[in-house]
Structures are given as C-alpha cells and as structure tokens.
Amino acid sequence: MIREMLASTKGVPGMISFAGGFPSPETFPVNILADLFKEVITETGPDTLQYGASEGDNELKDAIIKWDTATQIFPSSRRDEHSPSILQQTGWSTSSTTQITPYALTRDELLICTGATNGIYYFTRALIEPGDVILCEGPTFLGSVVAFEANGAEVIPIDMDRDGIILDQLSDTIKNLRSQKKTIKFLYTIPDFQNPTGITMSIDRRYELIKLMQAEEILILEDDPYKELRYTGERLPSLFEIARSVYNDAQLVTLIKSFSKILGPGLRIAVAMGHPDIIKPMSSWLQKVIVNPEGVTQKVVARFIQKGYLIKHLAFIAQYYTPYNNAITAALEKYMPPSVSFTRPQGGIFVWVSTDSPLNFDALFPEIVAKKVAYIPGSKFYPEGFEKYNCLRLNFSYPTIEQIERGVEVLGKCIVHSA
Ligand SMILES: Cc1ncc(COP(=O)(O)O)c(C=O)c1O
C-alpha cells in the first residue's frame, strides 16, 4: 500500500512529497566511499571477493566494538569521572548507590546483517513460533511488523505518550495476554526519534521499561537506526547500554544499529548486538538465507570507521538536517489549526501529526495529493485491526526547505477546510 502511494506521487510535476522515508542523497559520503571501495578491492580483493564468515567480517566487528566503547554514555565505573550533565541526563545522581559496570563487547556478541530489517527478521525467526506474541509501540515501523507477521507472530501495539511507550498499558496488556495463555516472546522498540512519530523515549521511561521487562522476563529488541541523527538535546544511553551497565543484564536487550541513515541504505549494512545465545541462532538463519553478508562493503564500512571519517561525517549529517527539522516545526506551528498536535523531534527524519477532530487521513489522501502534497496516513503504521485514522507521518529529510514550508501550508489549509 505504501509502495503504491509512493509510486502514485513519484515524478508528478510540482508534487511535494513528505511520504518517503529516504535519507537525503546529499548526506551520502560518495567520494570517500568511492576511494574506499577501490582501496579495499585493490588491497584485499582475492580475500574479500571470496565467500566470507556468516557472522560477519572481524575487521568490521572490531571497528564497531571500538566505536561502541567510545560512544558509551557510561564510559567509566567511576562516578566522579562523569560530568554533572551526564549524571543528570542519565537519571544517575551523585548520591545514587547504583553500581555502574561498563561493558566491552566481544566478537561473538555481534552479527553483521544486510540492513536492520534483515537482522530484525533473523531475531524474529530465531525466537518466534507461530501464534507467539510480539509487543511493540503503536504506531511503529511497518517493515518490522511485516517481518513479525511473516514469521507467524501476533503483533500487539501499545500506545505512546511524549516519553515513549506507556508502561501502565504495557503492564496491563502483558497480564491480559498471559491470562489468555498467550506466549509473549519480546518487545520491539525504537527509542530514539522513532519511526513514524519522531518521539524519543525519556531517560526515566528507559529505566522503568527495563525494570518492567526484567520483572516480566520478556526480551527487548531495540532498533536504533536514527540515534546518530540528533540535532538538539543530549545523547541518551541505549536500553542495551542501561541493561548491561546499570542492571548488569547482558541477555535482556538485543540492539540493532543500521548504517542506512548514516552512509546510505544502498550499502545494506547493519549490526545486531546481543548475548551469544541469541546471536548464534540468528547467525544460523543468516547462513541459511544469504550465506554471508557482502564482503567488500563490510571492509569499506570498517575502514570508514577506523580512519576517523565517521565522527566527522556524523557531525556533518546533524548539521545538514538541522534546518529541515527547524523548518518543519516552524511551518507546523504557523499553519496548523489548534485542533492539530504534532511532535517536535530532537532528531531523526519524521514528524507525527494528529487531530482532535475525527478526520480520516486515508480518505483525505486523494484530495490532498490532488493539491500536490503527499504524506503517509497514520493507519499504515499499525498492525491490522489496531489502525487509527486521525493521524499522519511527515518525512522532512527529502523535500527542500521551501517545499516544507509550502507543503505544510497546503496541508494545514486542507485540514482546516475538512474539519
Ligand atoms: C525503525 C527502522 N528500522 C529499520 C529500518 C530499515 O533499516 P535498514 O535500511 O537498515 O534495513 C528503518 C528504515 O526506514 C526504520 O525506520
């Protein structure tokens, strides 16, 4: 359905599309990658063009492990080595008695995948028996719901507020499902600049979610492709890091990080990080399906990290997208009527718009597209049977700043006219 919508709006002269989920091609480090591809083939061709290890290239794993260590929020177990802002931001006060245990990943805790979607599929394939339940945020990333359902899972969404997934509802849903003798296998969450809402889970919610899932013995699959696209505010620790460093739990959370929104989705490189007991069966599924992740690209990404390009490139991307993020927030403030609410993301590429009035953005789609503005109706981000129709997703990484201003103006007028 989303593909059809995108196809019907693509290439139409004058169309302003907020519908896609593509990163801007302006952010792809084309020249550096071109040099690195040449270098890798020239220097290591006979090796990298051969079949490789199913779990992925060790050079890339080592580069990711180093990167992960360098970017941990809790880099040290010594509280006095952390700045007050980090302490405050992490909910870890100086008077807290919490013991912090920084972790270092090992190679057998990593699996290189052909994009995050691929890793999400293997995680699901490894854990799910038909009829098992997967909990997720509602709305959520449709690609994952497709992978969950393809494996026979029942997918149950939990509402979100501005701090992320609502824990009371999550807790009630778990009780309810268990009273029906259902098996809940895991919770899928996108804590940073969520697709489709742009919401970032607050630090307190992260701690509380981990405590709840630990108590309920339900695994977490954390999908974090947007973490590095932060334009304002301070970086928050991943659920993976909190579980390991603060709760000393290496089993609870498996984290999937993709390079799609950093280097380009065409590279198809992501990494799953988790306990070897989970990574191993994921790796067997990967082996059955693709034999091994693509060798040359893995080495290219490894060198991109090792040679220090990644740090500079991330700073460039954040700077690049900031005016787009500001432009969409300003336009929504200017053109939306008071009955409309919208998220104000601190990063990522999406904004979520919803109305108090019972508007149906599926039904309004043809009328608004006829005015040359495209979006994705919110209903498309819910599992079947849970759809909401008074909402929509806007992507701000693809249109120009002028298009953002004009497109939001048209959308605002259509909403006022239809209400
Ligand atoms: C939350 C989320 N997860 C995963 C993906 C897919 O990432 P990849 O290109 O690495 O498969 C996307 C892409 O839009 C996404 O928004």
Token code pair at residue 13: 């002269």
Grouped pLDDT means (10 residues each) for the chain, 419 residues: 73 90 94 98 96 96 95 67 58 57 92 97 97 98 96 97 97 98 98 98 94 97 97 93 92 98 97 98 96 97 97 96 97 96 97 94 94 95 96 96 97 91
* Per-residue model confidence (pLDDT) at position 81: 58
In degrees and rounded to multiples of 5, residue 71 shows phi and psi of: -105, 5
Burial tier of 270 (Cβ tally within 10 Å: 0-12, 13-18, 19+): buried
Query: Which atom from ligand 1 is nearest to the alpha carbon of 265?
Result: 9
Q: Name all residues whose Cβ lies below 6 A of ligand 1.
A: 21, 115-117, 141, 143, 190, 195, 223, 225, 258, 260, 265, 270
Residue 312 is which amino acid? K
2, 24, 117: residue to mutate for ligand 1 pocket, most atoms within 8 A of CB: 117
Of 124, 223, 227, 254, the one to substitute when testing ligand 1's pocket (max ligand atoms within 8 A of C-beta) is 223
How many angstroms does the Cα of residue 197 sit away from the middle of ligand 1? 14
Share of the chain above pLDDT 70, in %: 94
Under 8 Å CB-to-CB from 379, ≥6 apart: which residues?
361, 362, 387, 388, 389, 391
**Centroid of ligand 1 to alpha carbon of 117 (angstroms):** 6
- Sequence-separated (6 or more) residues with CB below 8 Å from residue 30: none
- The angle subtended at Cα 389 by Cα 404 and Cα 144, nearest 5°, is 80
Prediction pTM value: 0.94
Average pLDDT, rounded, for the chain: 93
Q: Which amino acid is at 405?
A: E
Ramachandran category for residue 164: left, alpha or beta (phi over 0 → left; psi -120 to 50 → alpha):
left
What is the structure's pLDDT at 59? 97
- For residue 409, how many C-alpha atoms fall within 13 Å in the half-sphere facing its CB? 7
Q: Which of 120, 122, 260, 286 to mutate to test the pocket of ligand 1 (most atoms within 8 A of CB)?
A: 260
Q: How far is the CA of 92 from the centre of ligand 1 (A)?
A: 31
Output the CA 201–ligand 1 centroid distance in Å. 18
pLDDT, one tens digit per residue, over 192-210 is 999 999 999 999 999 999 9
pLDDT at residue 94, as a whole number: 47
Give the Cβ contact number of residue 300 at 10 Å: 25
Q: How far is the CA of 413 from the centre of ligand 1 (A)?
A: 32
Which residue of 145, 192, 258, 396 sits with most ligand 1 atoms within 8 Å of its CB, as the best mutation to test the pocket? 258
Six token digits for residue 375: 């979006």
CB 12 within 8 A of CB 373: no
Q: Which two tokens stand for residue 264?
A: 């380009």
- Dist. CA 382 → ligand 1 center (Å): 16
Quote the ligand 1 centre to 182 CA distance (angstroms). 28
> 74 alpha carbon to ligand 1 midpoint, in Å?
26
Tokens (6 digits) for 391: 């909402």
Instruction: Please report the atom of ligand 1 found closest to the CA of residue 258.
Output: 10
Q: Report the SS3 class of residue 358.
A: coil
- The per-residue DSSP string of 367-405 comes to HHHHTTEE-EEGGGGS-TT----SEEEEE-SSS-HHHHH
SS3 28: coil
